[in-house]
Amino acid sequence: MIEQLIKAQAYGLGFDLVGITDLGLAANAAAFDEWLARGFAGEMAYMVRTAEKRRDSRRAFEGVTRAIVVAMSYGGREPSGPVARYARGDDYHDIMLERLKTLHAWIDEQIGRHVVGKAYVDTGPILERDLARRAGLGWFGKNTMLINPRAGSFFFLGALLVALELVIDEPFEADHCGTCRRCIDACPTAAILEPHVLDATRCISYLTIELKGDIPTEFHEAIGDHVYGCDVCQDVCPWNQKFATPLRENEFTPRPIIAGRDSQTLSRDILAMTDEDFRMTFKGSPMKRAKLRGLKRNAAVVLGNVGAADDVDVLTRSFDDEKPIL
């Protein structure tokens, strides 16, 4: 069967989970609408702008009928640190998109014609988690992450949407979180308001990456030593503690500026960076998303939490008219 061959090829390309599903209205479309209505997307205006397409995956790319959904682990056994694990190496968008395009070309070859389709990795108007659940890859944890019973949640999701009639997999219907609420209780900023409801405007990942202006002072202390992103809700999850895997993909190996560095040292280095330093250090890194201005803002907050007296001079030297936010 072509479905089994596609899955085998995907595994051969380095993906850790693969499933196939049909397209249609997202099961959590109503919850997504409510999430937007409550303002939980914050400054992520693109979520509102593309909401109609996100509700129905058939609208993402004309003519497609199936989604080949994949997951790729980025490790979960490495020590926690000032940078979330997913962002320590090269940009996952580039790595996964290239492999999904390779899978697409392989399908064309097997079918003997060009199959209309498009690859998405956290960049298009689709709800990847919904597709992944429909494809049997896992359930929505109380922290809103997709959790797989054999892999935990430290993985990226991607999808290759194709105009090809494929046999679909059974959706993942069970919820294995039970009465556990470790992620809810552990969140430093109380961003998980209730099971499956995340206020992104309180989440450290949003505050240190997506937010462009000042980080509200009410969150400064709670940010602690998080310079970029946060893994707390995943770290405490029993499914990760049992099933998270060591880092296997060389592309996700931490860069020298991050590897083994504590938050104080990293923050000092970031505050001393010029624009050219930033471009060279974070070329091809997902950390570029915050831009140097955002990283320096984060570093200043972190030094306020973990710094020593001599960091006052480090902060003062970083002030300039172009970055008044510092």
Neighbours of 256 (CB within 10 A): 9
In a domain, 169, yes or no: no
| pLDDT per residue as tens digits for the range 27-82 | 999 999 999 999 999 999 999 999 999 999 999 999 999 999 999 999 999 999 99
Do 121 and 224 belong to one domain? no
| pLDDT per residue as tens digits for the range 267-285 | 999 999 999 999 999 999 9
Q: Answer yes or no: are the C-beta atoms of 299 and 215 closer than 8 Å.
A: no
**326 pLDDT exceeds 70?**
no
In a domain, 170, yes or no: no
Do 55 and 117 belong to one domain? yes
Closest CA to 270 of 307, 321, 217, 218: 307
Residue-level length of the chain: 326
Range of the domain at 278: 182-237+255-318
**321 pLDDT exceeds 60?**
no
Q: What pLDDT is attached to residue 133?
A: 98
| pLDDT per residue as tens digits for the range 3-36 | 999 999 999 999 999 999 999 999 999 999 999 9
Do 63 and 201 belong to one domain? no
Do 190 and 67 belong to one domain? no
Q: What pLDDT is attached to residue 186?
A: 98
Q: Looking at 131, 162, 193, which one is the last position of a domain? A: 162
| pLDDT per residue as tens digits for the range 119-133 | 999 989 999 999 999
What is the C-alpha separation between 270 and 262, in angstroms, rounded?
A: 12
In a domain, 243, yes or no: no
Do 158 and 200 belong to one domain? no
Catalytic residue among 22, 108, 122, 235: 122
The tokens of 205 are what? 């990942």
In a domain, 175, yes or no: no
Q: What pLDDT is attached to residue 323?
A: 58
What is the C-alpha separation between 207 and 219, in angstroms, rounded?
A: 9
Task: Please give the full DSSP string across 79-115, using - where no structure is assigned.
Answer: PP-SB-GGGSSS-HHHHHHHHHHHHHHHHHHHHTSPP
Q: Helices marked H in 208-319 — which ranges?
A: 220-223, 232-235, 238-243, 263-271, 275-281, 291-306, 311-318
Do 269 and 140 belong to one domain? no
Cβ-in-10-Å burial (0-12, 13-18, 19+) of 291 comes to middle
**320 pLDDT exceeds 70?**
no
Q: What pLDDT is attached to residue 316?
A: 76
Do 25 and 142 belong to one domain? yes
Domain count along the chain: 2
| pLDDT per residue as tens digits for the range 281-314 | 999 999 999 999 999 999 999 999 998 778 777 7
What is the C-alpha separation between 245 and 152, in angstroms, rounded?
A: 9
In a domain, 249, yes or no: no
Closest CA to 183 of 214, 220, 215, 147: 147
Please, what is the average pLDDT of the chain? 95
Do 92 and 200 belong to one domain? no
What is the C-alpha separation between 308 and 197, in angstroms, rounded?
A: 37
Q: Is 185 a catalytic residue?
A: no
Residue 207 gets which letter from DSSP? I
